Structure 1
Amino acid sequence: MTVSPSAPPTVRLSSVSLTLKGPAGAVNILRDVDLEIPQGAAVGLVGPSGAGKSSLLMVAAGLQRPSAGSVTVAGQDLGLLDEDALARFRRDHVGVVFQGFHLIPTMTAEENVAVPLEFAGRKDAFDVARAQLDAVGLGHRMGHYPGQLSGGEQQRVALARAFAPGPRLLLADEPTGNLDGETGALVMDLLFRLHDEQNTTLMLITHDQALAGRCDRVIRIQDGAITDNRATRDAAA
């Protein structure tokens, strides 16, 4: 991977807080988070369930507006965009891979990968889709529907779909949570290889410390706040 610390960060969160209303009153999900991630870097987000990791990813993706603070991704202040503009920004600059595969069951693997490219008006949508499926080792499964694919193959299709538009930022939320250990390891090898080849900034939520250790930095979140942020060479110290 090529980290460019001298370039403007791909992600900058400044004094970000997120407060949501619950049955018992206001709940503080994120608390005064400051975070910068350089272009091309990979960060592992770790911490207990309910700590705010997924909410942080949602805020970085523009899927959840913070209650306070500012979020800048790829040089764009997300707070200045309305919902339609946010959707277009995500389409062009942000890829997301979830624990669930979220493939369209009535579409083939090729069609699933081509969908976001078609929405963007790309005339080469299917050419790019085929190239991305080849890149994840599924060139021979392009015409298969999700129900005809194994869990690992479905997640590889999801990876191809996320990387196909050439996103500046890739968000991965426990992407191997539904896979067995061996299949999950293969999927993660693919994710890191594509991240490296495309120089995409990666934010990865994981409970696997070894997996987090493959990132450039490990960020620990506890009760909605960052409690540790260190380079992986120091993370075990």
Structure 2
Amino acid sequence: MTSVLSLKDATLALDSNAGRIEILHGISLDVHKGETLALVGPSGSGKSSLLMLMGGLERATSGTITALDQNLSQMSEDALAKFRREHMGIVFQNFHLIPTMTALENVATPLELAGRKDAMECARAELDAVGLSHRADHYPSQMSGGEQQRVALARACAPSPQILLADEPTGNLDQTTGETIMDLLFDLHAKRGTTLVLVTHSGELASRCNRTVRLRDGLIAPQAEAAQ
């Protein structure tokens, strides 16, 4: 199988007022093209930090992280931002929409940054794909949490990324709304062949993935990579 993400002995340590905190310890993991992978484990186990390393949003203290044959550890911040814009979509638990922009403008922003002349047209199509074409001119404050997450998902998918990273995408939503977001995530994955890696506390969401990796105390737990 072709690996689109590969971590070799990756560690993450951060300095704090209380001293140096070791978060991840020698993580080695390959994520294959087109698969769906769930990162699970108790709070504080390091799963969100691992996702941030995969997306180049945190730099590994040691070890290497490769995405689409590019060594993220050696890239400058500008190069990382460009790489993410062209190849990755990221969905956060807290949506991270720009409050002064409409849904359409939020989705169009990464396309405009990439120089796409059809940014608005493409953004409208992405909003339609998540069932929100009627909300195109609404601001985040005028939308429900589920609607905001759908906008965030449309924004992440608009550049047609090869890798989609999702950090607790249903964490702030009620069960029914969360199930809608889950269905959208897997529908978009199936239609576009995107590699999907998600952090979740939901056993139901994890069970829908091809594979589950369980973290505990910054390490991959035994039997973590058994197929679900």
Q: Which TM-score band applies after superposition, normalised by the shorter structure? A: over 0.9
Name the residue aligned to 2:83: 89
Partner AA of 2:123 in structure 1: A
Matched, 1:120 2:80: no
1:55 aligns to what SS in structure 2? helix
CA apart distance, 1:188? 0.9
Task: Find the aligned partners of 2:19 and 2:48 in 1 and give their Cα distance.
Answer: 21
Q: Does 1:230 align with 2:203?
A: no
Deviation at 1:25, TM superposition (A): 2.5
How many residues in Structure 1 have an aligned counterpart in Structure 2? Answer: 226
Q: Which segments of 5 or more consecutive residues in structure 1 lack a partner in the other structure?
A: 233-237
Matched, 1:26 2:1: no
Distance 1:184 1:24 in 2: 37
Letter in 2 for 1:134: D
Residue 106 (structure 1) shift:
1.4
Instruction: Find the partner of 1:155 among 145, 149, 152.
Output: 149
State the match for 2:207 in structure 1. Answer: 213
Structure 2 residue identity aligned to 1:149: M
1:198 is matched with which residue: 192, 201, 205?
192
Give the Cα–Cα distance (whole angstroms) in 1 for the partners of residues 95 and 39 of structure 2. 20
* Distance in 2 (alpha carbons) for counterparts of 1:123 and 1:134: 19
Q: Which residue of 1 aligns with 2:8?
A: 14
Q: 2:14, 2:75 → 1: CA distance? A: 21
RMSD of equivalent CA atoms: 0.9
**Which amino acid in 1 is paired with 2:227?**
A
Deviations 1:144-178 (A, max 9, x none): 11111111111100000000001111111111111
CA distance in 2, matches of 1:97, 1:23: 30
Query: Which of structure 1's runs of 4+ aligned residues deviate more than 4 A?
Result: none
> TM-score, structure 2 length as denominator?
0.97
Instruction: Tell me the SS of whatever aligns to 1:87.
Output: helix
Q: Please name the residue that 1:235 is paired with.
A: none
Match of 1:102 in 2: 96
Secondary structure of 2:137's counterpart equals coil
Structure 1 vs Structure 2: percent identity of aligned residues?
58
Instruction: Tell me how far apart the structure 2 counterparts of residues 211 and 79 of structure 1 sit (CA, whole Å).
Output: 30
SS of the aligned residue for 1:71 comes to strand
Q: Distance in 2 between matches of 1:63 and 1:187?
A: 24
Query: What 5-or-longer segments of structure 2 have no aligned partner?
Result: none
